[in-house]
Amino acid sequence: MNPPQRKRPKRQLDSIIIHFDYDCFYASVFEAETPTLRSLPLAVQQKQIVVTCNYEARRRGLHKLQLIKDAKRICPEIVIVLGEDLTRFRNASKELYAFLKAFSWNSKVERLGFDEVFMDVSDLVEYNLGTLNRTNLSESFFCLSKNDPTNGFAFDASQVAGHTYPDSQDKLCLDAEVDALRLRLHLGSHLAEHMRHQLHSQKGYTCAVGVSTNKLLSKLVGSVHKPNDQTTLLPPYLPHPDGDGIDNVISFIDSHEIGKVPGIGFKLAKKIRAHVLGRPPEIDTNLVYGETKEHVLVADVRKHVGMSAETLEKLLGGPGTPHGIGLKIWGLINGCDDTEVGQAREVPKQISIEDSYIRLDTLEEVTKELRLLAVSLLKRMHADLTEDEEDQVQNRLEDDALGASATEINKKRWLAFPKTLRLSTRPRPPQNPDGSRNRSFARISRSAPMPNFVFNLKESLDALTDRLVSESLIPLFRKLHPEKSGWNLSLVNVAATNMVDAANEKGGVGRDISKMFRRQDDVLKQWKVKGPDDLMERAPNGNVEASNEVATPTETHRNGSEDVPTRSQDRGADGDTWEYGEEDSLGDSFRCDECGASMPLFAMAAHDRWHFEAR
Ligand code: DCP
Ligand code: MG
Ligand code: MG
């Protein structure tokens, strides 16, 4: 018998979760724009790296995160498109998300990065389970709308749709007691297949899909059959009481390298590997797309002598990791994950724009760059935080009554107001006496209330940008870098944070653009910049945060430290990291200090060498 602390955590089996991961996402976005690209080998370039390539290119030996020069050598006919500007990916991601979300009843649809979506379809599955004719499962109808019983599709509920783990296609034995979980997974798999086909026929995108009972398992099982396919993790999900304790969940998760488990990022995996091996694992620095040479499997960790939630807590806990990390990770390596699929948000939590620089050390250049970043920030605020007015008849009538002409009414309205403007930089550490330079990922930041003029939709983008730079960003920059010179920045980030939903504003003014404009100054008065000096104070962590009587600094500022690389913004969507206790590291996406290309940490050594050779 296992000692009590090794007891396996309890699995929640009530939910059906579908995970979508679009195939070669960036490349697919270009293909959707220009369909003739589909038949050609296509690579998307950021700096000197192939960030992704289509499957035609992969068939010819290319892979993600390869150096452009290698890609050209291996496949001289490769078509290369530039993917530095993320706008098209962001827009496509939002469009596809909206498409998938339309299938949901409970709005539990969550985006992870640009190219992944989780959906909790438990309610749809439960509803359709209720209408099944158990004596004739093969002629079932999946209803997609509670209000319209004809809206749906015919399917065979006795079979799973697509692949399974383990790889078996056994028919449901209808004579035996039907396993309720299995039937729910069948329904989930058919819904997933239907959505996949719709996504393809209506939007032109394909994806790899996983179906299981939690986020962790659905994400992992979805990558078993890639691309353009789906996999369902079959029961049993619980060990047989008289058996050896191995169920499909354990046998599935056991075979994964520990660092491949979503939620176990680079730092945690490193500590766990060293603990299990009793020494640091050998790293193969020659592999650009490799990881550790020695694999430590989940099974090795799970079965390691003395392994338990408590052991993991001792090993991984401490400053910078959330309390209970041991229990969390112990759960993950046992296939348990009770995190909910987030409710769909109309607006992002924050908008942040950044760029990295090889050398940025004069105020003149900084001003130029701040201007570029400010333009992008304002454009993004308009794209993500405003919506077109559709149903504004009532407002128009009100406006007419108030003497405003309908033609003057702006066609957009704000969905949310970011209360805080944040400027962050990453100063480059000074050179060592031998001319080398330490790699630094430390960011410093300052915040101030967002000036209310940015919400004026009638003002030109140019004018708004000028004011934002001269009245807010330059003063913030001076606070951040009081010295006239001597600094050299490798990164600048501007962000709109502390989002307040316009619908939640007093009296719901945000929903009504015409009233909002009239009341804008009233509503936003409280956040007016009084002068930077009034608003700054030193936060306990040594960085400078906004502090004023109204804007509560609820947001945790992500400041890097020497050993915690700040993650690249390239992955795009907000909150796209999933690692416990390493919020700043995506585990697989870091930026090169020299050129700004993003790549997994293990690829950096090879990438550095490339810089060295290119010098
Ligand atoms: N991406 C990036 N930098 C990275 C990793 C990814 O810019 N270090 C971008 C390019 C990808 C997108 O994010 O298209 C999604 O990343 P995935 O790892 O899911 O890769 P793909 O969707 O491209 O390919 P796959 O078909 O393997 O899912
Ligand atoms: Mg992905
Ligand atoms: Mg993908």
| CATH assignment at residue 492 | 3.30.1490.100
The residue out of 344, 359, 383 marking a domain boundary is 344
Lowest mean pLDDT among 9-23, 283-297, 600-614: 600-614
Q: Please report where in the chains the tokens 């960003």 appear, as a residue.
A: 473
Nearest residue to 557 (alpha-carbon basis) of 444, 391, 394: 444
Shortest-distance atom of ligand 1 to CA 21:
28
Stretch among 234-243, 300-309, 480-489 having the lowest mean pLDDT: 234-243
Query: What domain count does the chain have?
Result: 4
- The pLDDT tens digits of the residues spanning 198-208 come to 999 999 999 99
Q: How far apart are CA 22 and CA 572, in angstroms?
A: 15
Give yes or no: residues 482 and 570 share one domain.
no
DSSP track, 411-439: SEEESEEEEEEEEEEEEPPPPPTTS----
Average pLDDT across the chain, whole number:
80
**Domain boundary at 204, 233, 262, which?**
233
435 in the same domain as 332: no
Residue 177 annotated as catalytic: no
Give the pLDDT of residue 443: 87
Average pLDDT over residues 86-102: 94
End-to-end CA distance of the chain: 61
Alpha carbons 474 and 423: distance in angstroms, whole number: 10
The share of the chain scoring above pLDDT 90, in percent, equals: 59
70 in ligand 1 pocket by Cβ < 6 Å?
Answer: no
d(CA 27, CA 37): 9
**Of the ranges 108-117, 257-266, 581-590, which one carries the lowest mean pLDDT score?**
581-590
Indicate whether 395 and 539 sit together in one domain. Answer: no
Residue 38 has what pLDDT? 96
**What is this structure's pTM?**
0.69
Tell me if 599 CB under 6 Å of ligand 1: yes
Residues 115 and 109: their CA atoms lie apart, in Å, by 13
Q: Is the same domain home to 41 and 117?
A: yes
Ligand 1 atom 12 nearest Cα: 25
pLDDT band at 238 (very low <50, low <70, confident <90, very high): confident
Dihedral-angle region of residue 403 (phi above 0 means left; psi in -120 to 50 means alpha; beta otherwise): left
Q: Where are the alpha helices (DSSP H) in 7-74?
A: 25-33, 55-59, 68-74
Same domain, 339 and 355: no
Q: Are residues 442 and 549 in the same domain?
A: no
Nearest to 495 by CA among 450, 556, 456, 540: 450
**Under 8 Å between Cβ of 373 and 422:** no
Does 337 share its domain with 361? no
Ligand 1 pocket mutation, candidates 20, 22, 25, 86, criterion most atoms within 8 A of CB: 25
Q: What are the structure tokens assigned to 438, written together?
A: 């330490």
Weakest-pLDDT range from 160-174, 298-312, 511-525: 511-525
The reported pLDDT for the residue numbered 175 is 38
Choose the catalytic residue: 31, 110, 116, 354.
116
Tell me the CATH number at 261.
Answer: 1.10.150.20
pLDDT tens, position by position, 253-273: 999 999 999 999 888 999 999
Proportion of the chain above pLDDT 70, given as a percent: 72
Q: Which domain holds residue 566?
A: 523-614
Rounded to the nearest angstrom, the distance between the alpha carbon of 421 and the centre of ligand 1 is 29
Q: How confident is the model at residue 28 (pLDDT cuts 50, 70, 90)?
A: very high
Q: What is the predicted pLDDT for the residue at 161?
A: 97
Domain termination residue (choose one: 179, 199, 233)? 233
Q: For residues 608 and 603, what is the distance between their CA atoms, to the nearest angstrom?
A: 9
Q: pLDDT category, 347, cuts 50, 70, 90?
A: confident
Least confident of 141-145, 239-243, 292-296, 544-548: 544-548
d(C-alpha 45, C-alpha 26), whole Å: 10
129, 187: one domain: yes
- What's the average model confidence in pLDDT over 206-230? 98
Reported as a single tens digit per residue, the pLDDT across 420-479 is 999 999 998 877 787 776 666 678 999 999 999 999 999 999 999 999 999 999 999 999
Q: For residues 416 and 420, what is the distance between their CA atoms, to the nearest angstrom? A: 12
Q: Are 261 and 253 in contact (CB under 8 A)?
A: yes
Is residue 252 in contact with ligand 1, taking CB distance under 6 Å? no
Asked whether 418 and 429 are in contact (CB, 8 A), the reply is no
